[in-house]
Amino acid sequence: MTDLERLRHSCAHVLASAILRIWPQAQFAAGPPVETGFYYDLELDHRISLDDFERIEAEMKKIVKENQPFEKIDVSREEAFAMAQEGRLAALGRREQPSKFKLDILEHIPEGEAISLYRNGDFTDLCAGPHVMRTGNIGAFKLTSLASAYYRGDANNPQLQRVYGTAFKTRAELDAYFAQLEEAKKRDHRKLGRELDLFQIDEQVGQGLILWKPKGAVIRQQLQNFIGEELRKQGYSEVFTPHIAKLDLFRTSGHYPYYRESQFPPLIEPEALSRLASEGCSCAQLANQLTNGELDGYLLKPMNCPMHIKIYASELRSYRNLPVRLSEFGTVYRWEQSGELGGMTRVRGFTQDDGHLFCTEEQLAEELRQCLELGLNVLRALGLNEFRARIGLRDPDSSKYVGTPAQWDKAEAALKQIAVQSNISFAEEEGEAAFYGPKIDFIVKDVIGREWQLGTIQVDYNLPERFDLTYIDSDNSSKRPVMIHRAPFGSLERFCGVLIEHFAGAFPLWLAPEQVRILPISDKHVAYGGQILSLLKAANIRASLDESSDKIGAKIRLAQLQKVPYMLVLGAREEQAGEVAVRSRLRGDEGAASAPHFLERIQQEIKNRKLD
């Protein structure tokens, strides 16, 4: 537990103490620290409201001012049960009602495992710790929200009230956190997506399924063009595969049935379905036949890799042909629970900038280096300069991994070496490797300090084995290739959602859906505006002409709200001189320029993918 988590855990105990001072009958379940603060689940005979927060926080401040020590008390199993029966756990003293949730938690603690309590003031709770030394060590805190949660996450259990809060060491850190939250609300990609007309989610189409509108499609296409250029430089061959495949393909890969909880249900051929119905086949029997392979069907693909494997296996391969590098903007489908969906960042259908490489053991290190270089080029080109790498290594005490120890040693050493050579910040985490090989994940910090996991590079010894992939080596022997999965963007939906928030919708010129808007001062200058529009469009500049009768100030305000990078104001003086009055989104009025000169300038900005 980090120092901040320890502080927040302690603040959760202070929260419970304060609530009990106000409502002594409250029954508490669990109160852990979480990524953004802490919470405590409780049962009470009435609903706590946001209006109660001021009163609760006042009691919390008193407890902090009292500077109560946090005292750890080791107890026997029998002593803990006796205290819970007397209502003394998560309480200020003995009560008529037992501490029912603490009794249940005790029942789930294995026999022989140590049990401890923590006490601050009159409050005693079942807790493994750790905590700060005293309540006075808790810095600045604030209660943030309320929610409902089933006890232990089970809908068959009582529904509890969940009180959320957050805490930091200093008031300045707390204030900065809430300022970041306010900025995040302004940058919310769901809000900006509506305002800028980038994408939509339609209930009739389905939750978690993105409709890319024309402006959003421009951003997506530009990103695809950008990475496509990089892939061609690295010798990739682009492929296309269907959105659906036979279930048996995913049985071979292992994706079905092992990950079926996160997949859409299989599709059964109509004739087979009719036959099974006539035979009185139950849903359970149907599921069993699908699982054990007695019945085949089709599956919306959850991964692109099995199809790329089939492309590799479609012809005899020689060591001279390797590495084989395949790429695809392939759409995959995952069944996410409705409560987990969120705009573009958590969806049910998404397109990956997927790449799969098949190489020899000797080529592995160099291919990994190029994959890492590709990922770094993508992040830096988009101004995502604050990032770190997380290298997932195998757990030396686990036997779940496929491949030989020698292969793993070589692959892990290669990942570490290229991370060092690339001079990027990285951390090694044992046990975070996939069962089929080690990996690198990119953790990116956006402009307001939030972290996102985006691209990934993974080594795979498993799928070449499962699909019996081979190549002919120089000695005419049959060898097994190593496979690399890589996706610098991760998914285009998630990546674009992050970019919308990172840029606050104000995309750099090369990415902007509308790059230039022409603003005639009056109707008399619309014809000249049409000439400028033709010039720009002939050069593939995404431009438009505002022919409305609005005043020029209103036209400028609208273009600014829609975050258009450049505006060209046209009046009598500009038309007479054959010029345009340039106005930029960032710098305002930039003066007059000839149309060809302005065009040359922005073409250079686009070519260089300038960010501001």
Helix (H) or strand (E) holding 75: strand 71-75
Neighbours of 297 (CB within 10 A): 18
Neighbours of 186 (CB within 10 A): 12
Q: Does residue 342 register a pLDDT over 90?
A: no
| 176 plus 294 within the same structural domain | no
| Amino acid 206: pLDDT | 93
135 domain-assigned: yes
Kindly report the backbone phi and psi dihedral angles of residue 313, in degrees, each rounded to the nearest multiple of 5, phi listed first: -80, -5
Q: Does residue 553 register a pLDDT over 90?
A: yes
Fill in the amino acid letter for 55: R
The string of DSSP letters for 534-568 reads: HHHHHTT--EEE----S-HHHHHHHHHHTT-SEEE
Q: Does residue 268 register a pLDDT over 80?
A: yes
Q: Which residue has the tokens 């498993």?
A: 462
| 269 plus 325 within the same structural domain | no
Q: How confident is the model at residue 433 (pLDDT cuts 50, 70, 90)?
A: confident
| Amino acid 235: pLDDT | 93
| Amino acid 269: pLDDT | 82
Of 502, 528, 553, the last residue of a domain is 502
Q: Does residue 545 register a pLDDT over 90?
A: yes
| Amino acid 200: pLDDT | 95
203 domain-assigned: no
Q: What average pLDDT does range 410-434 have in this prediction? A: 86
| Amino acid 403: pLDDT | 75
| 400 plus 313 within the same structural domain | yes
Helix (H) or strand (E) holding 331: strand 324-333
Q: What average pLDDT does range 113-128 have in this prediction? A: 95
Q: pTM (2 decimals)?
A: 0.81
Q: How confident is the model at residue 130 (pLDDT cuts 50, 70, 90)?
A: very high
| 537 plus 485 within the same structural domain | no
Q: Exposed e or buried b for every residue in 402-438, given b needs 16+ CB within 10 A?
A: bbeeebbebbbebbbebbeeeebebeeeeebbbebbb
| Amino acid 20: pLDDT | 97
Fill in the amino acid letter for 409: D
Give me the torsion for CA of 420, 422, 428, 434, rounded to 10°. -130
Q: What average pLDDT does range 340-366 have in this prediction? A: 92
| Amino acid 270: pLDDT | 81
In this structure, are residues 161 and 43 in contact, taking their beta carbons and an 8 Å threshold? yes
Lowest mean pLDDT among 41-45, 212-216, 255-259, 530-534: 255-259
Q: Give 281 or 95, the one with higher predicted confidence.
A: 95
Report the alpha-carbon distance of residue 336 to residue 227 in Å, rounded: 28
In this structure, are residues 255 and 302 in contact, taking their beta carbons and an 8 Å threshold? yes
| Amino acid 285: pLDDT | 81
User: In this structure, what CATH number is given to the domain that contains residue 142?
Assistant: 3.30.980.10
Give me the torsion for CA of 130, 132, 135, 138, rounded to 10°. -120
Helix (H) or strand (E) holding 72: strand 71-75
Distance (Å) of CA 518 to CA 213, 505, 580: 22, 20, 9
| 491 plus 523 within the same structural domain | no
| 173 plus 27 within the same structural domain | yes
Tell me whether residue 455 is exposed, middle or buried, using C-beta atoms within 10 angstroms of its C-beta: 0 to 12, 13 to 18, 19 or more: buried
Tell me if the bond preceding 596 is cis, omega within 30° of 0: no
User: In this structure, what CATH number is given to the domain that contains residue 371?
Assistant: 3.30.930.10
Q: What is the number of domains present in the chain?
A: 4
| Amino acid 170: pLDDT | 95
Q: What is the pLDDT of residues 18-77, one digit of tens each?
A: 999 999 999 999 999 998 999 999 999 999 999 999 999 999 999 999 999 999 999 999
Report the alpha-carbon distance of residue 490 to residue 115 in Å, rounded: 43
Q: Does residue 405 register a pLDDT over 90?
A: no
Q: Does residue 259 register a pLDDT over 80?
A: no
In this structure, are residues 542 and 566 in contact, taking their beta carbons and an 8 Å threshold? no
Helix, strand or coil, per DSSP, at residue 418 = helix
In this structure, are residues 602 and 566 in contact, taking their beta carbons and an 8 Å threshold? yes
Report the alpha-carbon distance of residue 245 to residue 305 in Å, rounded: 12
Q: Which residue has the tokens 């689940």?
A: 41
User: In this structure, what CATH number is given to the domain that contains residue 581?
Assistant: 3.40.50.800
262 domain-assigned: yes
- For residue 94 the two structure tokens come to 């003995």
72-77 contacts, C-beta under 8 A, 24 or more apart: 72/116, 72/117, 72/118, 72/129, 72/131, 73/116, 73/117, 73/118, 73/119, 73/124, 74/114, 74/115, 74/116, 75/115, 75/116, 75/117, 76/115, 77/106, 77/109, 77/111, 77/115
| Domain assignment of residue 386, given as a range | 211-241+304-502
- For residue 181 the two structure tokens come to 């939250």
Q: How confident is the model at residue 425 (pLDDT cuts 50, 70, 90)?
A: confident
| 313 plus 430 within the same structural domain | yes
The string of DSSP letters for 241-294 reads: --SEEEHHHHHHHT-TTTTGGGSPPPBPPHHHHHHHHHTT--HHHHHHHHHHTS
Q: Does residue 154 register a pLDDT over 80?
A: yes
| Amino acid 472: pLDDT | 97
Helix axes of 364-381 and 405-421: crossing angle, nearest 10 degrees: 40
Ramachandran category for residue 9: left, alpha or beta (phi over 0 → left; psi -120 to 50 → alpha): alpha
| 344 plus 260 within the same structural domain | no
508 domain-assigned: no
| 251 plus 236 within the same structural domain | no
Lowest mean pLDDT among 238-247, 255-264, 301-310, 425-434: 255-264
| Amino acid 594: pLDDT | 95
In this structure, are residues 443 and 453 in contact, taking their beta carbons and an 8 Å threshold? yes
15 domain-assigned: yes
Q: Does residue 514 register a pLDDT over 80?
A: yes
200 domain-assigned: no
Q: Does residue 558 register a pLDDT over 80?
A: yes
Report the alpha-carbon distance of residue 227 to residue 378 in Å, rounded: 7
| Amino acid 272: pLDDT | 80
Q: Give 277 or 535, the one with higher predicted confidence.
A: 535
Of 269, 300, 331, the last residue of a domain is 300
Percent of the chain having pLDDT more than 90?
71
| 363 plus 458 within the same structural domain | yes
Q: What average pLDDT does range 107-132 have in this prediction? A: 94
Of 469, 502, 535, the last residue of a domain is 502
Report the alpha-carbon distance of residue 213 to residue 198 in Å, rounded: 5
Q: How confident is the model at residue 538 (pLDDT cuts 50, 70, 90)?
A: very high
As annotated, the active-site residues are 305, 334, 352, 354, 356, 439, 485
Helix axes of 171-187 and 492-502: crossing angle, nearest 10 degrees: 120
199 domain-assigned: no
| Amino acid 281: pLDDT | 83
Q: Which residue has the tokens 């009025």?
A: 589
The string of DSSP letters for 422-484 reads: TT--EEEEET-SBTTB-EEEEEEE-TTS-EEEEEEEEEESHHHHHTT--EE-TTS-EEPPEEE
Reference 140, options 166, 115, 162, 119; nearest CA is 166
| Amino acid 351: pLDDT | 95
204 domain-assigned: no
Pure H helices in 141-244: 171-187, 189-195, 214-233
| 383 plus 308 within the same structural domain | yes
Reference 330, options 300, 353, 357; nearest CA is 353
| 369 plus 309 within the same structural domain | yes
Q: Does residue 287 register a pLDDT over 80?
A: no
Question: Who contacts 417 (Cβ-Cβ below 8 Å, separation ≥6)?
Answer: 365
Report the alpha-carbon distance of residue 89 to residue 213 in Å, rounded: 56
Average pLDDT, the chain: 92
Q: Does residue 446 register a pLDDT over 90?
A: no
